[in-house]
Amino acid sequence: AWIITPTPDTPDSLIAKVTELIEACGATVYSMSPTEHDELLAQISHLPQIVSSILAGELLSVSGEKLALAGQGLRDTTRLAESSSAIWLDILNSNRDFILSKLESFGHKVELLHQALLARDSVRIEALFKDGNTGRSKISGKHGARARTYTYLSVVIPDKPGQLGALFSECAIAGVNVEDLSIEHSPGQFTGLITLALSESDATKLEKHLLTNNWKVHTT
């Protein structure tokens, strides 16, 4: 997807040419004002980066040995923290006002959770999590399509060369389409856990195929 931000002074002919170029590249064109663009990016790009960086910064007091116990969730939520601070310093300064507004809103939600925990208010805590469930469901799926509901198949594989390739070969033989995957490896273990996201029908087909061929697999 490409975003264009024409102003009232932008000639229609120029907008048409840019739109034609973008569509020729196979992309989707989104048109909005510069102000709408900056507010949107503060919400869907800049705030996630800030939250990820702060969360990762909280890990400085945790030993590397203990962090070896971290699961995929922590890796996912801190991935953005690897970004260049030099680049983000420019971005944050250039979009300062909208970012401050989103930070204020986010901070308010954190304070609500803090107060709910102090009061042991399970109703308010659950409401915050349900809001998160609803917000997450609004994020589009692959290629901007509507998000799909997947069945997750967990496969235990030996920690040795060629096993991931062998699993992919089994997926091809079974004729299934893997939409996404995650890899987890616990310290000191000689196995890894591969979680595959598939349609319900493909998950059923692949599970049967893998079990038939002596793979350790279960649906989550």
pLDDT one-digit tens code per residue, 105-133: 999 999 999 999 999 999 999 999 999 99
Shared domain for 129 and 36, answered yes or no, is yes
Tokens for 167, please give them: 């699993």
Q: What is the mean pLDDT of residues 138-153?
A: 72
Contact 219, 207 (CB under 8 A): yes
- Give the residue carrying structure tokens 């692959």: 142
| Of 63, 66, 65, 6, the residue nearest 37 (C-alpha) | 6
* Structural domain includes residue 75: yes
Shared domain for 93 and 41, answered yes or no, is yes
* Structural domain includes residue 112: yes
> Averaging pLDDT over each range in 39-48, 62-71, 177-186, which range is the top one?
39-48
| pLDDT score of 143 more than 60 | no
Non-local (6+) Cβ contacts of 143 within 8 A are none
Q: What is the mean pLDDT of residues 171-182?
A: 94
pLDDT-derived band at 144, boundaries 50, 70, 90: low
- When the pLDDT of each residue in the chain is averaged and rounded to a whole number, the result is 92
Contact 195, 152 (CB under 8 A): yes
| Of 123, 56, 125, 120, the residue nearest 85 (C-alpha) | 56
% the chain with pLDDT above 90 = 78
The structure's pTM equals 0.74
Domain limit, last residue, from 115, 137, 159: 137
* Structural domain includes residue 76: yes
pLDDT-derived band at 193, boundaries 50, 70, 90: confident
Domain count, the chain: 2
Segment among 41-45, 59-63, 74-78, 87-91 with least mean pLDDT: 74-78
What's the DSSP call for residue 191?
A: E
Shared domain for 126 and 161, answered yes or no, is no
Shared domain for 114 and 182, answered yes or no, is no
* Structural domain includes residue 1: no
* Structural domain includes residue 208: yes
Burial call 159-173: b when 16+ CB within 10 Å, e when fewer:
eeeebeeebeebbee
> Domain of 166?
151-219
Could you tell me the CATH number of the domain that includes residue 43? 1.10.3660.10
DSSP for 86-123, please give it.
HHHHHHHHHTHHHHHHHHHHHHHHHHHHHHHHHTT-HH
Residues in the chain: 220
Pairwise pLDDT comparison (71 vs 54), residue with the higher score:
54
* Structural domain includes residue 99: yes
| Of 57, 106, 101, 102, the residue nearest 78 (C-alpha) | 57
* Structural domain includes residue 190: yes
